[in-house]
Structure 1
Amino acid sequence: MATPSPLRTVRDLLRLAVSRFTAARLSFGHGSANAYDEAAYLVLHTLNLPLDTLDPFLDARLLPEEVEAVLKVIDRRVNERVPAAYITHEAYMHGLRFYVDSRVIVPRSFIGELLQEGLEPWVGESGSIGPVLELCTGSGCLPILAAHVWPHAKIDAVDISPDALAVARRNVADYKMDDRIRLYEGDLYAPLPHGATYDVILTNPPYVNEASMQALPAEYQAEPRIALAGGDDGMDVVRRIIAGAKARLNPGGVLVVEIGNEHANVEAAFPELEIVWLPVSAGDEQVFLLTYDALPG
């Protein structure tokens, strides 16, 4: 006679997941900040329960096949050390859901926070924003967020990775924004139409310096290196973006660049530029802005 499983409820599986995630010393930051939040997300997602409603289901008795499905997800998260988003194929930013897989980094950007306020006071009223460019688009999350904030904006988004653009196309199609967001494959400004200029350029480029790349936890190493690695000082791609930005901006426009923890390297690489650091929830050293007049060239 088979021994009944001691795992019978959502509470049992949640406790087990937290214990295993903590014992394995997993790293977080791809949508969840700690073992409990990630465990709750993965359990609820696997059981097809509302992601924002845990308490009513904590003591619900589960079918054996449901327990087995959750255990498989817990095992994969611990053994493969991949971001949870690669297991569930979804990530959320500011209430919007995006499809993701290992062809793109998991969507996360402090520029998304700034877009919620329309980048005020650095750009005009939301209805006045025309053409927008986003470089290194990855999953396409930022142009989709921008399209929600700036209702009349037409947005061009570029990525050098055909795999990333396949994911971006899926997300653009999911939001039925093919008429407002155009995707281009190529190296930064190179694939854009000749003479195209923009009111705003946004970018969350590869910026991690090489020493930091070597020290990244396994979950971050599982993401595409091309989307993270920025050379010895992290500024290889950023330099090229800044060098070409003025030719692609309309007078009065702005360039907004996310650089994570590379504040010191930005200051060292561009001491002559009048950089404006924009405050976000993680502080005021994560995202910077350059006006049209402050850009070189």
Structure 2
Amino acid sequence: MTQDITSELVTLRDYWRYAISRFNAADLSYGHGTTTAGDDAAFLLLDSLDLPIDALDPFLDARLLPAERKLLAERIEARVTTRKPSSYLTGRAYIQGVRFHVDERVIVPRSHIGEILFSEYLGENGSAFLPDPMTVESAVDICTGSGCLAVLAAKFFPHAAVDAVDLSADALAVAAKNVAAHEVENQVSLHEGDLFAPLAGRTYDLIITNPPYVDHDALVAYPPEFRAEPAMAHDGGEDGLDLVRRILEEAADYLNPQGGMICEIGSGREILEEEYPHLDFVWLETAESQDAVFWISAEALGVE
């Protein structure tokens, strides 16, 4: 099949149309930075050709070289037959246009926190809750995975030393690649361990965390694209909030008095507010959610 289509399909437009048809026929699932067959196909093709992933139109009628046709045909076929997310096939993912290396040792980065950091610190829609980036001297990314949020923290907080923690040595190997690629080795330190365990005695101006928060019922219903990712990076326990609770219970010990924490929790707002009625959660709006991420100050957590 691959050889047949490479002789018939010539332009990027040809391959985009073909990929959409294949993806729709195979009833693929999305959610790793794209939400439709058309967007997923565009990402797979453009990233495979090392073209800007947000600029399909200028290249649609470009004729492709034989080697490029072969590569695209193979990756379209792999997307359909393996059901792996497109980012695993290209080896790259993006947060607000910033490129990160990914592979099957980490989940494909797609945190709402990345959007919040960009809107806050690029002046698009500041929340008035997060700290002045020039005053942050220390930050930690708990459950760092690919290291993307730790790298962004280093970029947005130029004076901050950033620690990044994960339980998975495999994930930290990927994070190390991203730290090196973005040349923030002098700011970011990687630590293997369970949540705050490797950080005894340290305190921070800012805690950033996007922990596993998927409940068990949702895990059971996962499509193949999500099952291709490391299970431990999704599993948040029976109701999805096991790690969030632990983080809330421990965070005060690791925060400076004027600091705070930004945490992504998925759909657990109602449960969290019922269990912690005494805590002042500030829910931060993103393009796709109004209550997937909260900010809580050190003061609200009892830090004096």
Q: Which runs of 5+ in 1 are unaligned?
A: none
* Alignment partner of 2:247 out of 241, 255, 258: 241
Q: What code does the residue aligned with 2:242 have?
A: D
> RMSD across aligned C-alpha pairs, in angstroms?
2.0
Q: What code does the residue aligned with 2:102 have?
A: V
Measure, in 1, the Cα distance between the counterparts of 2:30 and 2:171.
Answer: 22
Q: What code does the residue aligned with 2:267 have?
A: N
Structure 1 range deviating more: 36-45 or 69-78: 36-45
Deviations 1:234-293 (A, max 9, x none): 111111101110010011211111011222332343333222211121232110122112
Residue 62 of structure 1 pairs with residue 69 of structure 2: no
For this pair of structures, how many residues does the alignment match? 295
Q: What code does the residue aligned with 1:212 have?
A: A
Q: Which residue of 1 aligns with 2:190?
A: 183
Q: What code does the residue aligned with 2:36 have?
A: N
Q: Where has structure 1 moved over 4 Å in runs of 4 or more?
A: none
Residue 102 of structure 1 pairs with residue 104 of structure 2: yes
Relative to structure 1, the CA distance from residue 130 to residue 221 in structure 2 (aligned partners, 3 Å threshold; closer, same or farther) is same
Measure, in 1, the Cα distance between the counterparts of 2:238 and 2:292.
Answer: 19
Deviations 1:121-152 (A, max 9, x none): 22432211111111000000001111111111
Deviations 1:83-108 (A, max 9, x none): 11100000111221100000001011
Structure 1 range deviating more: 57-66 or 135-144: 57-66
Q: Which residue of 1 aligns with 2:13?
A: 11
2:127–2:284 CA contact under 8 A, matched in 1 = no
Q: Which runs of 5+ in 2 are unaligned?
A: none
Deviation at 1:155, TM superposition (A): 0.5
Structure 1 range deviating more: 103-112 or 4-13: 4-13
Q: Which residue of 2 aligns with 1:42?
A: 44
* Alignment partner of 1:71 out of 48, 70, 73: 73
Residue 209 of structure 1 pairs with residue 209 of structure 2: no
**Normalising by the residue count of structure 2, what TM-score does the alignment of the two structures yield?**
0.91
Q: How does 1:101-140 map to 2 (within 5 A)?
A: 101-116=103-118, 117-118=120-121, 120-140=127-147
Identity of aligned pairs, percent? 49
Q: Which residue of 2 aligns with 1:88?
A: 90
**Normalising by the residue count of structure 1, what TM-score does the alignment of the two structures yield?**
0.93
Deviations 1:165-222 (A, max 9, x none): 0000010011111110111000011111x32100110100011111111112211111
Q: What code does the residue aligned with 1:190 have?
A: A
